[in-house]
Amino acid sequence: MAVTLKQAQRVGYTCLRALLRFAFMVANNLVAIPSYVLYLIVLQPLRILDSKSFWYIEGVLFKWLLAMVASWGWWAGYTVVEWGDDVKAVSEDEAMVLVNHQATGDVCTLMMCLQDKGTVVRQMMWLMDHIFKYTNFGIVSLIHGDFFIRQGKAHRDQQLVLLKDHLEKYYRSRNRKWIVLFPEGGFLRKRRETSQAFAKKNNLPFLKHVTLPRLGATQVILKTLVAPQENGTPSGGDAVRKESKSKGLQWVIDTTIAYPKAEPIDIQTWILGYRQPTVTHVHYRIFPVKDVPAEPEALTNWLYQRFIEKEDLLAHFYETGAFPPPQGQAKAISREMTLSNLWLVAIQSFAFLSGGMWYCLFQYLYHCLF
The string of pLDDT tens digits covering residues 246-284 is: 478 999 999 999 999 999 999 999 999 989 999 999 999
Total count of domains within the chain: 1
Mean pLDDT, to the nearest integer, of 357-370? 90
Q: Is pLDDT at 142 greater than 60 in this prediction?
A: yes
Rounded to two decimals, what is the model's pTM? 0.89
In a domain, 85, yes or no: yes
Cα 80-82-88 angle, rounded to 5 deg: 115
pLDDT of residue 42: 97
Mean pLDDT, to the nearest integer, of 283-312? 95
- Taking a C-beta distance cutoff of 8 angstroms, is the pair 176, 199 a contact? no
Q: Is pLDDT at 35 greater than 70 in this prediction?
A: yes
In a domain, 237, yes or no: no
In a domain, 184, yes or no: yes
Q: Is pLDDT at 99 greater than 50 in this prediction?
A: yes
In a domain, 116, yes or no: yes
Domain with 59, as residue range(s), is 5-227+247-369
The answer to which of 91-105, 201-215, 234-248, 306-320 has the lowest mean pLDDT is: 234-248
In a domain, 136, yes or no: yes
In a domain, 358, yes or no: yes
Q: Is pLDDT at 158 greater than 50 in this prediction?
A: yes
In a domain, 232, yes or no: no
Q: Is pLDDT at 95 greater than 60 in this prediction?
A: yes
In a domain, 120, yes or no: yes
Share the mean pLDDT of the chain: 90
List the 94-99 sheet strands across, edge first.
Answer: 147-149, 124-129, 178-181, 94-99, 249-258, 278-288, 78-84, 334-337
Q: Long-range contacts: 338-342, Cβ < 8 Å, 24+?
A: 338/116, 339/67, 339/70, 339/71, 339/74, 339/112, 339/115, 339/116
